[in-house]
Chains A and B, each alone.
Chain A
């Protein structure tokens, strides 16, 4: 679209006021073309073109480098049409809520909102730690499965019992350990 033509169309006074939030209903027959509807670009709907923007295209953007996008964010509903009429008068008569409503009709996010930090570092750290622990567990599981050897023969019950008899005969732990619990006169455990 030629720039001068789009600029001529971008009148700040008249804009298409849409009554319902749904612009095109696919279930119904397509509406007949008229002058107002011909201003309705397929991609932007009934929103008003107000500026040049980035490259002359009627697209909305929230950028720090370019504060003013080329189209308004919302199309004019009857309520905002009333507010726009009030905006042509004294701005001191506008309440804070009305001014905020007007701002949100023209822009999607405030500067503070689209420059706020995303908190991505929390996700990165969390998933990094989860991945690290998952790898550790997988490695340990692999070692337990792949390197599952039989127990040595000296871990059988009879051999362990015999080892304990040897320890007691050699008086291992006489003060507070194993042999202190064995009664050598009777040859049994102490009561």
Chain B
């Protein structure tokens, strides 16, 4: 579910990465204080992948999904990212794909500098197949235009 990585070595060895707090939790077992069932990580991934894999998804739903997932306390799995990028391809919106990658890049850099290169490496096949440029390819890993901030107007 959450992609909090501990070390580069760990990410190179294993594909499925557990969040840091799960290590402490699994030792005592997952206890539900409430009565409803807690979703597992796989169910979460499947749900989001199914959401983006719909063949007739439109730009409205993609944007809803991106905005919603951005608010959750996690970085999406590379499979979900690939599904979303393919959805962007279906609606013919390349800028939306770049924006999505930028959002993930910003969020992952807040965690650690090692996350973003790993994510890029995992979704590289999708990027090459669809022809999507990463923010670095477009030169958007550094500011390009010095526009006035909205707060200063």
The answer on A and B forming one complex is yes
Q: Which chain A residues have a beta carbon within 8 Å of chain B's beta carbons?
A: 7, 10, 12, 50-52, 62, 64-68, 70, 84, 87-88, 90-94, 96, 99-100, 102-103, 105-116, 118
- The main secondary structure of chain A at its interface with chain B is loop
> From residue A86, how far is it (CB to closest CB) to chain B in Å?
10
B98 within 8 A of A: yes
The A/B interface has a contact count, at CB < 8 Å, of: 115
What is the bound-complex CA distance between A12 and B59, given in angstroms?
7
Given A110-B143, A110-B144, A114-B149, A66 contacting B67 (CB threshold 8 A)? yes
> From residue A42, how far is it (CB to closest CB) to chain B in Å?
20
Q: B98 touching A112 by the CB < 8 A rule?
A: no
Residues from chain A with Cβ under 8 Å of B152 in the complex: 118
> From residue B87, how far is it (CB to closest CB) to chain A in Å?
12
Q: Which of B60, B93, B98, B145 contacts A7 (CB 8 A)?
A: B60
Q: A107 touching B95 by the CB < 8 A rule?
A: yes
Q: A96 touching B132 by the CB < 8 A rule?
A: no
Residues from chain B with Cβ under 8 Å of A93 in the complex: 131
> From residue A52, how far is it (CB to closest CB) to chain B in Å?
5
> From residue B29, how far is it (CB to closest CB) to chain A in Å?
34
Residues from chain B with Cβ under 8 Å of A100 in the complex: 138-139
What is the bound-complex CA distance between A116 and B143, given in angstroms?
7
Residues from chain A with Cβ under 8 Å of B147 in the complex: 108-109, 113
Q: A65 touching B137 by the CB < 8 A rule?
A: no
Residues from chain A with Cβ under 8 Å of B59 in the complex: 10, 12, 50-51
Q: How many residues of B are counted as interface, with CB atoms below 8 angstroms from the partner's CB atoms?
A: 43
Interface centre among A50, A87, A92, A110 (most CB of B within 10 A): A110
B71 within 8 A of A: yes
What is the bound-complex CA distance between A84 and B99, given in angstroms?
17
Q: Which 8 pairs between the two chains have the least Cβ-Cβ distance?
A: A51-B63, A91-B131, A92-B131, A68-B63, A67-B103, A106-B95, A111-B102, A113-B143
Residues from chain B with Cβ under 8 Å of A91 in the complex: 89, 94, 130-132
Interface centre among A7, A67, A96 (most CB of B within 10 A): A67
What is the bound-complex CA distance between A106 and B96, given in angstroms?
8
Residues from chain B with Cβ under 8 Å of A112 in the complex: 102, 135, 140-144
B64 within 8 A of A: yes
Chain B residue at minimal CB-CB distance from A83:
B94
> From residue A160, how far is it (CB to closest CB) to chain B in Å?
62
What is the bound-complex CA distance between A28 and B130, given in angstroms?
47
What is the bound-complex CA distance between A131 and B59, given in angstroms?
53
Supply 13 A–B pairs (Cβ within 8 Å), ascending by A: A12-B58, A52-B60, A66-B71, A67-B66, A67-B100, A87-B93, A106-B99, A111-B103, A111-B135, A113-B143, A113-B144, A114-B149, A118-B149
